[in-house]
Structure 1
């Protein structure tokens, strides 16, 4: 498929404001916007991409004070450029929340994703020991073994909810085994990681803000306590798991504190479990919706697997955005921003930018090149587990292709009510 040459950091001169599409009906801070059908949201982002970065006011969030507002970065060029400038576009005080988080949240959600160098570099240097080529190679057989067991169970079960029986199971068991979490705790990890990434969904968080905050903090506390108990045991009885490697890690005299271990575990379960689960769920939905692409992939699975997985991640964009805060005045591709401004990097919009992707709304498993930002933009915060996620998605679809090639969604997905995660709560399937 022919593609325009990707470009980041440069944009054409702004058009006559009178000729720009109307965006007065778009409010990215309104929960109602995120309840719109996906096609309407993608159309809204396409209109926003024709404008310079737009400013949006923050909505009140219960006891959390209303913030000063934020600029929405929606083009591939702007998101990539901001990602390459971490000293200007800082992850502190928070990358995962547009409002500044209350103090109590930092204990559980203050992981390295919310930090800047040198603290970010220190933590990443330590935890990256669990993601070396050698460690990931050891996981290869485990991922395949777990995927086969999941599909064995699927064949026995028959028509079911694909999310609960297939998509959620593989990344959950892989991460828990990496960390050494006993199987008896797997359901608890899944439940709490789903709560952490529930967005505004009342099925997970309840109907009011106070209940939501309580449930979020409890989920963080439960995950952190689980890891603290395991870490204490591994210090005395180390094994070959990632928890042992982390509690015994010493890089240039540095090691992880219990709080850092807990928040990293929350990051790993959330980022490595929920996002991969959603990519697999979206994958089945897309292959059902676009049967020509399924036939093409199934005609030579290995030939198309690499590009198909990248296209699923681009098209679905499981993580919709990350926040940054400017440390100094900066001109972003001709647009002036000021120190202290919040900027929200909308990966889901950048991945549909026609300046980079030909026919961006077309799902095409042969797309090449495919410089999507589904694992984050270039720079120090690129997803540490991207390679593992790619392997899990590939292996899961390989087993489905091999054992149940006719598997398909039988209804539209039930979507998560969230502006942060493009999540699927359930997806009925049959084969």
Structure 2
């Protein structure tokens, strides 16, 4: 089904808004299958389509004319890789956010070269081979402990709170040296950064207050850690971050705090959401589960890629056109917003054979779960893959009869987030 549009009576600059609704709360509160019906219609007939601003924006902008929706895989890749034309420095979410607030919450996600290039190099310099090995060792140990604790909690518990959210939290804590006393508060603040649009999560609270208080808390934690590691460096990523230097440049306190927000949010979402979606998928597709367990070590690498495609944990990212540009045969004007719909690209029949089917042996699998390539390709992709290999392996080994019930989802246009999901065994 296609959700009924909430099209405003006026169109932008004489250009009519598309009749397919991608902007309303109702659209994003629907199921993934309902959204896919709309995306399929657009991919087939209007792969570049013009839409009104999102409904009930956090910071309403009367001058916002709307956005271009990019729904085809090939066009998403083109936007991702042409960072000279499609800029991130104006923001990467649907909504217009004051530029002075962008860096504090989105770090180099919301930057363009040359600054993006330099900051990413400094951050990448902290991911040394030694750090990567240490992270992967801790991931395996944490995954084993988490599933052991899940077993002890007993059949019928919520999988999200007892398992899916735990591995990224513990990985982040080990990576940057977060004290145990702060670990769950950091996770809660990271949740708030992507859940401020969800009425159930807000529970009557003001979304701006929730967003900013969470951001300020994460900054406070980051600045405290940075000060401590400068004086007493340890064997953790934060120690590497505060001392990493590229071309004579080191990260400032503000840059470190902004990167910590990004790390806390982005380091949480891919693993947490994909883990939940994967266990539900394995429950619903027992033949795929049997195929995977028959030769787990040989097959889990490709299976992880399919789980990420299937989940599409990050559903959208935005760019802003720097110049006039023709994309997919459609004229885009300088200054217009362009939103990439990754969940649509990951179901594009021009790229994926029978994309509506879970195929853990799918090869090739050029999914868009870590973006479409280019300068903003996910820096932590290898960490997310390591976490997924470890946690799925432990779950299938320790709880071979694990079965997921029906999940409930967080309404929103950014993260394909599972709020709760009961599991039994």
TM-score, normalised relative to structure 1: 0.91
**Separation of aligned partners in 2, 1:137 and 1:63:** 42
The alpha-carbon distance between structure 1 residues 55 and 25, as it changes in their structure 2 partners (threshold 3 A), is closer
Note if contact 1:288-1:408 (Cα within 8 Å) is conserved in structure 2: yes
Q: Secondary structure at the match of 1:197?
A: helix
**Separation of aligned partners in 2, 1:148 and 1:169:** 11
**Separation of aligned partners in 2, 1:63 and 1:327:** 23
**Structural mapping, 1:18-417, within 5 Å:** 26-50=20-44, 51-58=46-53, 59=55, 61=57, 63-66=59-62, 67-95=64-92, 97-102=93-98, 105-106=101-102, 108-159=104-155, 160-198=157-195, 200-207=197-204, 211-409=206-404, 411-417=405-411
Q: Secondary structure at the match of 2:215?
A: helix
The alpha-carbon distance between structure 1 residues 63 and 313, as it changes in their structure 2 partners (threshold 3 A), is closer
The alpha-carbon distance between structure 1 residues 107 and 75, as it changes in their structure 2 partners (threshold 3 A), is closer
Gaps of 5+ in 1: 1-22
Note if contact 1:28-1:56 (Cα within 8 Å) is conserved in structure 2: yes
Q: Secondary structure at the match of 2:334?
A: coil
Q: CA deviation at 1:62?
A: 5.5
List per-residue Cα deviations over 1:274-293 (Å, max 9, x = no partner). Answer: 22100111110111111111
Q: CA deviation at 1:155?
A: 1.6
Q: CA deviation at 1:61?
A: 2.4
**Separation of aligned partners in 2, 1:62 and 1:297:** 43
**Separation of aligned partners in 2, 1:297 and 1:94:** 40
Gaps of 5+ in 2: 1-16
**Separation of aligned partners in 2, 1:130 and 1:199:** 31
TM-score, normalised relative to structure 2: 0.92
Q: What is the number of equivalent residue pairs in this alignment?
A: 405
Note if contact 1:163-1:427 (Cα within 8 Å) is conserved in structure 2: yes
Note if contact 1:53-1:335 (Cα within 8 Å) is conserved in structure 2: yes
Q: CA deviation at 1:206?
A: 4.1
Note if contact 1:205-1:216 (Cα within 8 Å) is conserved in structure 2: no
Note if contact 1:231-1:243 (Cα within 8 Å) is conserved in structure 2: yes
**Separation of aligned partners in 2, 1:48 and 1:341:** 19
Q: Secondary structure at the match of 2:195?
A: coil
Q: CA deviation at 1:103?
A: 5.5
Number of the residue aligned with 2:418: 424
The alpha-carbon distance between structure 1 residues 291 and 246, as it changes in their structure 2 partners (threshold 3 A), is same
Task: Give the stretch that moved more between structures: 186-195 or 97-106.
Answer: 97-106
Q: CA deviation at 1:199?
A: 5.2
**Separation of aligned partners in 2, 1:412 and 1:360:** 22
